[in-house]
Each structure stands twice: as structure tokens, then as C-alpha cells.
Amino acid sequence: MTDRPIEQQHPQSTQIHTAHSDADFIRAIPKAELHVHLEGSITPETLLALAHRNHKVDLLPSTDPDQLRAWFKFTNFPHFVEVYLTICQCICRAEDFAFIVEAYAATAAAQSITYAEITTTPFIHTHIQKKGLTIDQILRGLAEGRKTARARYGIELNWVFDIPRNFSFRAQTGVYDPTPADITLDYAMRGRKQGVIGFGLGGDEVGAPAFAFAHAFQRAISNGLVSLPHAGETQGPESVWSAVQDLRAARIGHGVRAIEDPDLLSVLRVAQIPLEVNISSNICLHIYDNVYQHPFPQLDQMGLLVTINSDDPPLFNTTLIAEYTLLQSQFAYARADVARIARNAFLAMAQPSAVRRQYLARFDAWAAAHLNP
């Protein structure tokens, strides 16, 4: 990692600014987003457009965007899965992937996001839901959307293909089925030229231990993909340990449950294994009852490399800007602290050091001009 010129201050340090100027500051910070799901980034308006063009309107509870927004509102995990899979059912063509990538890019540009690593789950589209979609169509759509994002919005997008871990264990017997992992790895390898850089593991950790997927992650790493599994969300520190030891994780999706194990915290701090933290997602999923119980400030103060992300923003009624705003409004972070956390995301990006240095140099120039103008 490179040096950190933005001084790390105690999060309780204070600066006096108006709320309006703080909002402008947070919006303007150059941002990288490392944990956002493509399918989970789709807004009600985008979903309606997909449903109409693919004759899937009958799958939706309403064609009123406001009522869809109410349907999106998280109630429990089964409801979340219902909404998520319905969204996936409305994605039927290569053009649909290009469409939703461009929609994400437009939203990202409005939030000053300049770089994103977006997770998508192609196995659901090709195998779980029988829509006739092929991986070649998916890759073509992603590539077209990525090209548009770069040309129209100046945003660089890369992909993380993740395994839907809960489809990897046979019902009733619980016997591990390597098929989803093996197929997802094949897809990821075929997508390298279209911007696939990471290999992930998503879904509910309960009953789907990370160690079962070690064979696929070993092959992925050997072939140049970055290990980026989810861990430490619905399961505790043991899940993070397994992601680090069995999957050789370069970064942890969530990882907040590491707070429960001092030895694990020490390993993460010393190795500077980044955590992709999603505060609103954790609250909605009842990992923590409220924002005041969330361990983000403690993880930060302990010296872990923490980043802020939005996960599935419309489904959790959030944005990346809203997540950064929580740092100020709930944790009393000063501007310099907020900027430091934003810089962490560029430190943690799954890119060669030369690329990372370019982004960090641009960020540091912005921070020098805006933190103490």
C-alpha cells in the first residue's frame, strides 16, 4: 500500500460547517465503490422499463413506481430474495445488461463515483432461471455498458462474478455441489477481456461454509482473478477466518463480524485486508439493531482498512452518498476523516499498484484543494 497523506484523526474530532456545505462536500468527494450488486442496483423505474420491454409486467405487484418503491422496501430476508429474483427474471437479453449498467453509471456519476467494482451473478441468469440467456450474451451486454459508462460518464467499471453459495448445497442432504462454482469460474475466465477482475462468493453464509469453495478460489487465483468473497455478515468471525485462510481473500465483503474476535482483528489489521462495509445493509438485515450499534467506528479506530459501500442501494433505500453522510451525522466524522475513508476505497481497489497510484494521486490532489482551500 502507498503512504497515507491524509492524516488519520480521531472520528470524534470536530469541525464547524453548515449542513449544506457538508452535503456538497460529501457529494463532491471522488469515490470508488467496491461492493455493489448490479442486479441490486436496479431502481423501480429501470425495473419497469425492463418488464415492459421483455413482457414481464405480470411478475410485478404494480406498475406504479411509488408502489414498486414500497415493495422494494426491505422487510425481511425472504422478501429481499423475492424482490431480487424478480428483478433478475426481468433481465432477459444482452441489451438489458447494457441498459442496467448504463443506469448504474448515470446514478454513480451524480455521486462523483469515478471507479466501481460491480458484483454480478451470471449463474442465476443462465441456470437458476431458464431464460435462454448465455454467458456470451451477458458478457456482450456488460462490455457495451462498460464502454458507455467510460465514454459518457468517465467512470471505469470492472466486474466481480460471484458464486450463489446457497445453490451449491443440495436440498435436504446438504451435500456440496461444485457445479455453480465451477461454472461461475469458467464464466469469469471467459470474461477477463470484458473487465472481469474478481471472483466472489455471495448469499447467506448460514449452512454454506466458505471452505467448500476452496477448490474454485485456488484455481481463480492461479489464473489471475482476485479473491473477493462475502464473509462475516450473517455468520460470525469463523466465516471471515475461513475466507482468509481457505479462500485467500484479498478483500472481504462485509467482514464486520470480525469485531467479535480480537485475534482476527489483529490479522486483518496487520495484513491490511480491506473490509467492504455496508452500514445500511447491515441494519436492514438485522446484523445490528441500529446504526449506533454498528462497529464501523471501532474497526476504523483499530486501524483496519475499512471502506464504505451501498450493497443493493434501492433495496436498502440508500445511496453511496447516504452511506458517507452517516459517517458525519451518526459517527461525528470530520471532513478529513470522511475523505480518509473515501481514499481507503482507492487503496483497496483490485488493481495493479501502478493503476492504484494514478487514482490515489488524483484523489490526493482533490483533497489538498478541498480540505484546506
Q: According to the model, what pLDDT value does residue 231 have?
A: 98
Q: Among positive and negative, which fits the CA dihedral 295, 207, 78, 161?
A: positive
Q: According to the model, what pLDDT value does residue 7 have?
A: 39
Neighbours of 19 (CB within 10 A): 10
More confident: 309 or 5: 309
Of 14-18, 95-99, 165-169, the range with the lowest mean pLDDT is 14-18
Q: According to the model, what pLDDT value does residue 109 have?
A: 98
Contact between residue 203 and residue 165 where contact means Cβ atoms under 8 Å apart = yes
Contact between residue 137 and residue 172 where contact means Cβ atoms under 8 Å apart = no
Question: What is the pTM for the complete model shown?
Answer: 0.94
Of 9-18, 109-118, 208-217, the range with the lowest mean pLDDT is 9-18
Query: Taking Cα atoms as reference points, which of 74, 8, 16 lies closest to residue 301?
Result: 8
Mean pLDDT calculated for residue range 305-321: 98
Mean pLDDT calculated for residue range 7-15: 38
Query: Taking Cα atoms as reference points, which of 298, 275, 299 lies closest to residue 347?
Result: 275
Q: What is the pLDDT of residues 145-203, one digit of tens each?
A: 999 999 999 999 999 999 999 999 988 789 999 999 999 999 999 999 999 999 999 99
Mean pLDDT calculated for residue range 133-145: 98
Which residue's entry shows cell 500500500?
A: 1
Inform me whether the pLDDT recorded for 16 exceeds 90.
no
Query: Taking Cα atoms as reference points, which of 234, 236, 177, 180 lies closest to residue 205?
Result: 234
Inform me whether the pLDDT recorded for 20 exceeds 60.
no
Which residue's entry shows cell 455496508?
A: 278
Query: Taking Cα atoms as reference points, which of 301, 302, 294 lies closest to residue 329?
Result: 294
Q: According to the model, what pLDDT value does residue 147 have?
A: 98
CA atoms of 115 and 249, how far apart (whole Å): 21
Which residue's entry shows cell 413506481?
A: 65
For residue 75, with 0-12 CB atoms within 10 Å meaning exposed, 13-18 middle and 19 or more buried, which class applies? exposed
Q: According to the model, what pLDDT value does residue 148 have?
A: 98
Contact between residue 100 and residue 41 where contact means Cβ atoms under 8 Å apart = yes
Mean pLDDT calculated for residue range 309-337: 98
Mean pLDDT calculated for residue range 22-40: 98
Query: Taking Cα atoms as reference points, which of 171, 176, 229 lies closest to residue 205?
Result: 229
pLDDT band at 1 (very low <50, low <70, confident <90, very high): very low
pLDDT band at 21 (very low <50, low <70, confident <90, very high): confident
Q: What is the pLDDT of residues 237-260, one digit of tens each?
A: 999 999 999 999 999 999 999 999
List for the chain the helix, strand, coil content (%; round to 5). 55, 15, 30
Distance of CA 204 to the CA centre of its chain: 15
pLDDT band at 4 (very low <50, low <70, confident <90, very high): very low
Q: DSSP characters for 239-277?
A: HHHHHHHTS--SSEEE-GGGGG-HHHHHHHHHHT--EEE
Inform me whether the pLDDT recorded for 308 exceeds 50.
yes
Q: What is the pLDDT of residues 347-360, one digit of tens each?
A: 999 999 999 999 99
Inform me whether the pLDDT recorded for 10 exceeds 50.
no
Q: According to the model, what pLDDT value does residue 354 have?
A: 98
What would the grid cell of residue 44 be? Answer: 423501480
Enclosing H/E stretch for 353: helix 353-371
Q: In Å, how far are 113, 142, 160, 304, 365 from 153, measured between CA atoms?
A: 10, 16, 21, 32, 21
Mean pLDDT calculated for residue range 291-312: 98
Contact between residue 4 and residue 340 where contact means Cβ atoms under 8 Å apart = yes
Q: Catalytic: which of 117, 144, 233, 323?
A: 233
Output the average pLDDT for the chain.
94
CA atoms of 211 and 9, how far apart (whole Å): 38
Q: What percent of the chain has pLDDT over 90?
A: 91
Query: Taking Cα atoms as reference points, which of 184, 189, 257, 246 lies closest to residue 215?
Result: 246
Q: What percent of the chain has pLDDT over 70?
A: 94
Identify residue 369 by its one-letter amino acid code.
A
CA atoms of 44 and 229, how far apart (whole Å): 28
CA atoms of 259 and 197, how far apart (whole Å): 28
Q: According to the model, what pLDDT value does residue 104 have?
A: 98
Q: According to the model, what pLDDT value does residue 373 have?
A: 63
Identify residue 267 by its one-letter amino acid code.
V
- Catalytic: 205? no
CA atoms of 277 and 331, how far apart (whole Å): 15
